């Protein structure tokens, strides 16, 4: 049968976690554990989404909301599906819904050497507002703190 459904974003569920962990392990030096995803999904301040293409999860994004601010906690795209606009689409989706919700600021941290992610955030208008020294303890790498005014 022809699969003609467009990719779409939906809320993450615990049933998604095994597939997400496979992407997570291929995306980060210190991947989140199952427990971290479970805890995040249970948190009333977190909002977590997956991008679905066909039957597969191609990416996911997790944010925390505190008042009129949101903080991007995690975003990754399956390595086989990068540079196809998925990361940008997920970010645009959550930023659009944050704006509609009168959220004023979006923050995130990114590894200084993570040039693909930094390029994505800069393209969306994020500005560097500071640095957290040695934030990534396993490599002692600094985090760049970025902010977008919505
Ligand atoms: N090199 C340079 N710029 C890049 C890039 C790369 N490898 N990947 C993305 N970008 C920038 C470009 O400006 C791109 O626009 P363009 O394709 O028109 O040039 C823009 O980001 C949007 O790219 P998109 O295709 O939407 O990104 P993606 O779906 O590949 O997802 C990440 C980007 C960062 C989420 C993905 O690389 C990833 O999962 N990385 C591993 C996990 C990670 O580092 N997460 C971020 C933690 S802070």
CATH for 77: 3.40.630.30
The answer to whether residue 2 sits within a structural domain is: no
Q: Which atom of ligand 1 is nearest to the CA of 23?
A: 39
pLDDT tens, 24-35?
999 999 999 999
The answer to whether residue 65 sits within a structural domain is: yes
Q: Which residues contact 79 (CB under 8 A, 6 or more apart)?
A: 23, 26, 27
Q: Residue with the nearest Cα to atom 15 of ligand 1?
A: 120
The answer to whether residue 3 sits within a structural domain is: no
For the Cβ of 83 lying below 6 angstroms from any atom of ligand 1, the answer is yes
Query: How far does the centroid of ligand 1 lie from the alpha carbon of residue 1, in Å?
Result: 32
The answer to whether residue 32 sits within a structural domain is: yes
The answer to whether residue 1 sits within a structural domain is: no
Query: How far does the centroid of ligand 1 lie from the alpha carbon of residue 111, in Å?
Result: 13
Average pLDDT value for residue range 104-110? 97
Query: Total domain count for the chain?
Result: 1
DSSP codes of every residue in the chain: ----PPPEEEE--GGGHHHHHHHHHTT-SSPPPHHHHHHHHH-TTEEEEEEEETTEEEEEEEEEEETTEEEEEEEEE-GGGTTSSHHHHHHHHHHHHHHHTT--EEEEEEETT-HHHHHHHHHTT-EEEEEEEEEETTTTEEEEEEEEE-
The pLDDT of residue 1: 47
pLDDT tens, 37-88?
999 999 999 999 999 999 899 999 999 999 999 999 999 999 999 999 999 9
For the Cβ of 114 lying below 6 angstroms from any atom of ligand 1, the answer is yes
Q: Which domain holds residue 12?
A: 8-149
The answer to whether residue 80 sits within a structural domain is: yes
**pTM score of the predicted model:** 0.95
């Amino acid at each position: 049968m022809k699969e003609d459904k467009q990719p779409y974003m939906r809320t993450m569920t615990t049933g998604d976690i095994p597939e997400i962990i496979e992407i997570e392990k291929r995306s980060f030096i210190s991947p989140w554990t199952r427990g971290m995803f479970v805890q995040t999904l249970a948190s009333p301040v977190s909002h977590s989404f997956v991008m679905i293409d066909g039957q597969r999860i191609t990416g996911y994004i997790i944010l925390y909301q505190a008042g009129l601010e949101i903080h991007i906690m995690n975003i990754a795209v399956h390595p086989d599906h990068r540079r196809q606009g998925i990361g940008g689409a997920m970010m645009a989706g959550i930023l659009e819904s944050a704006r509609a919700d009168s959220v004023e600021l979006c923050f995130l941290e990114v590894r200084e050497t993570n040039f693909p992610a930094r390029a994505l955030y800069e393209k969306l208008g994020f500005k560097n507002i500071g640095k957290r020294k040695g934030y990534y303890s396993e490599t002692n790498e600094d985090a760049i703190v970025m902010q977008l005014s919505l």
